[in-house]
Structure 1
Amino acid sequence: MKKRNIVLIGPMGTGKSRAARILADGLGFQLADTDRIIKHETGMKIATYYKLNGEKAFRKKETEIINRVRYYHEAVIAMGGNFPMTEKRFQLLSEYGIVILLYARPFRLVERVNKSIGKRPTMDYKNTEKYVKYMLKLWHPWKKRSDFAINTTLGHPAKTALDIARYLDREKIQFEKRHYKKNYHKKNYYKKFNGFKKEG
């Protein structure tokens, strides 16, 4: 069965949002960033929404969004890294999506998340390193369950996007087209990036 979309999962600080945007632009796919959708639909920053409504409401809102975007055709979905993956969510996302897990070494994640203190609602900024290591431990089992995993410790988000494009070609993965878009589908995803200017 052809898949409909590409889903990027993993802990916070791995570059999911930026890599998803670059990949979507490069392939001509739709972009669905769950954190941005929450912000758009609630009119609040995700940290504010979480603080005012609590974890239960935040998770419920995120699940509602997953149940919508998982049906998207020719889309790159960036999942928020505020909570570890659950079996239910993984089943929902993997039914129609190619699931790619991004991860990185603890020191790099600490460096990245500390650049945006207060932005991430579940982060313990009093002991960032301890929290990052704890989250990596929770995410580790999903590495084997995912279709592909990428270490982003040293890589720029543009390189992550290119690595995903190469993977799609190597595995000969094809996607169901958006019905309203005719004569668009191109099989060689990596070549579509030729001449694509990296963010810098």
Structure 2
Amino acid sequence: MPADSDSPAPVSPPAPAYATRTIALVGLMGAGKSTVGRRLAHRLGRTFYDSDQEIEKAAGLSVADIFSLHGEADFRRGEQQVLKRLLAEEPHVLATGGGAYLNEETRTLLREKAVTIWLNADLETLWRRVQKKSTRPLLRRDDAKSVLANLFVEREPIYSQADLVVDSKDGPHGTTVNAILKALKTWTPQ
């Protein structure tokens, strides 16, 4: 049967507001940015980048080696260059390093090019998670838990400036991914 010429053409649903933006996960080490980011990218059909891995590729050194050989300031400069390069690419999912969002220029760039999501986890959860890896340069000290606690207090006000906040709790990573997808539906550009 021929279509009625007076019938309206089917309408595609509008693209979500975040469709043209990178989704950047920010937060402390141990918040789950890399693990959750990979799963989120898969669900969205996007490429995933971990800024620390990209820095290591560019430098030919591990993050820990960059810190020990060149210091944190040089690492942060390289981190900013890598983030600028990544944010110039097609929209993807990006796990930023724990300190990346602290830099005001980087925060501004992320606000312009990405939807920022703070993966917020409580201190005990973070501590449990970071103990599994010995490669965290800022925690290579006897008082590592107090260093993490201080970073938590210092960085929380800055992370809270992210576009969205999603709790990163223990449990299936899919739960956090679902919470991000739900939060993204509410996001509108400012």
Instruction: Note whether the superposition's TM-score is higher than 0.5.
Output: yes
The one-character-per-residue Cα deviations of 1:132-188 (angstroms, maximum 9, x if unpaired) are 111111221134421111121334332222211122224478xxxxxxxxxxxxxxx
- The answer as to 2:114 corresponding to 1:85 is no
What is the one-letter code of the residue matched to 1:151? D
Hey, what's the Cα distance between the residues in 1 that align with 2:100 and 2:112? Answer: 20
Q: Normalization by structure 2: what TM-score?
A: 0.82
Question: Structure 1: which 5+ residue stretches go unaligned?
Answer: 174-200
The equivalent residue for 1:12 is 29
Hey, what's the Cα distance between the residues in 1 that align with 2:96 and 2:27? Answer: 8
Hey, what's the Cα distance between the residues in 1 that align with 2:100 and 2:77? Answer: 12
What is the one-letter code of the residue matched to 1:50? F
The equivalent residue for 1:137 is 153
Hey, what's the Cα distance between the residues in 2 that align with 1:82 and 1:13? Answer: 12
CA RMSD of aligned residues (A): 2.0
The equivalent residue for 1:128 is 144
Higher alpha-carbon deviation: 93-102 or 66-75: 66-75
Which consecutive segments of 4 or more residues in structure 1 shift more than 3 A? Answer: 170-173
Alpha-carbon shift at residue 124 of structure 1 (Å): 4.3
- The answer as to 2:184 corresponding to 1:168 is yes
Contact 1:82 1:121 in 2 (8 A): no
Higher alpha-carbon deviation: 2-11 or 87-96: 2-11
- The answer as to 2:160 corresponding to 1:147 is no
Hey, what's the Cα distance between the residues in 2 that align with 1:137 and 1:164? Answer: 24
Bigger CA radius of gyration: 2
Q: CA 1:59–1:12 in structure 2 vs 1: closer, same or farther (change >3 Å)?
A: same
Hey, what's the Cα distance between the residues in 1 that align with 2:188 and 2:108? Answer: 22
Question: Structure 2: which 5+ residue stretches go unaligned?
Answer: 1-16
Alpha-carbon shift at residue 83 of structure 1 (Å): 5.9
What is the one-letter code of the residue matched to 1:140? E
- The answer as to 2:118 corresponding to 1:101 is yes
Q: CA 1:155–1:149 in structure 2 vs 1: closer, same or farther (change >3 Å)?
A: farther
How many correspondences in the alignment? 172
Q: CA 1:84–1:5 in structure 2 vs 1: closer, same or farther (change >3 Å)?
A: closer
Hey, what's the Cα distance between the residues in 1 that align with 2:89 and 2:171? Answer: 28
- Aligned-residue identity in percent: 28
What is the one-letter code of the residue matched to 2:94? I
